[in-house]
Amino acid sequence: MGAALTADLTASVIAGILGAIFGSFLNVVIWRVPRGKSLVRPGSACPKCGAEVQPCDNVPIISWLLLRGACRSCKAPITVRYPLVEAGTAIAFVAAVWLFPNDPWSWLAWWYFAAISIALAAIDIDVRKLPSAIILPSYVVGGALIALAVGLGTSGLGDGIRAAIGAAGLWALYALLATIKPGAMGWGDVRLAGVLGGYLGWLGVGALVVGAFAGFLLGALWSVGLMLLRGATRKSSVPFGPWMIIGAAVGVVWGESLWDAYMSLIL
Same structural domain for residues 126 and 37?
A: no
Answer with the one of 99, 119, 134 that is the final residue of a domain.
99
Same structural domain for residues 64 and 115?
A: no
- DSSP string for 114-163: HHHHHHHHHHHHHHS---HHHHHHHHHHHHHHHHHHHHHSS--HHHHHHH
Q: What is the pLDDT of residue 56?
A: 85
Same structural domain for residues 78 and 208?
A: no
Could you tell me the CA-to-CA distances from 135 to 10, 98, 139, 191 in Å, in that order? 32, 26, 7, 7
Q: What is the pLDDT of residue 235?
A: 61
Same structural domain for residues 90 and 165?
A: no
What is the SS3 string spanning 205-231?
HHHHHHHHHHHHHHHHHHHHHHHHHHC
Same structural domain for residues 135 and 239?
A: yes
Q: What is the pLDDT of residue 5?
A: 62
Same structural domain for residues 29 and 145?
A: no
Same structural domain for residues 144 and 236?
A: yes
Same structural domain for residues 120 and 219?
A: yes
Q: What is the pLDDT of residue 112?
A: 98
Contact (Cβ atoms closer than 8 angstroms) between residue 105 and residue 148? yes
Contact (Cβ atoms closer than 8 angstroms) between residue 174 and residue 210? no
Task: Going residue by residue through the chain, which has 267 residues, state the pLDDT in tens, using 9 for 90 and above.
Answer: 566 666 689 999 999 999 999 999 999 999 999 999 999 888 888 878 878 888 888 899 999 999 989 988 898 898 999 999 999 999 999 999 999 999 999 999 999 999 999 999 999 999 999 999 999 999 999 999 999 999 999 999 999 999 999 999 999 999 999 999 887 789 999 999 999 999 999 999 999 999 999 999 999 999 888 888 876 666 667 799 999 999 999 999 999 999 999 999 987
Q: Which domain holds residue 262?
A: 103-267
Same structural domain for residues 221 and 107?
A: yes
Q: What is the pLDDT of residue 41?
A: 84
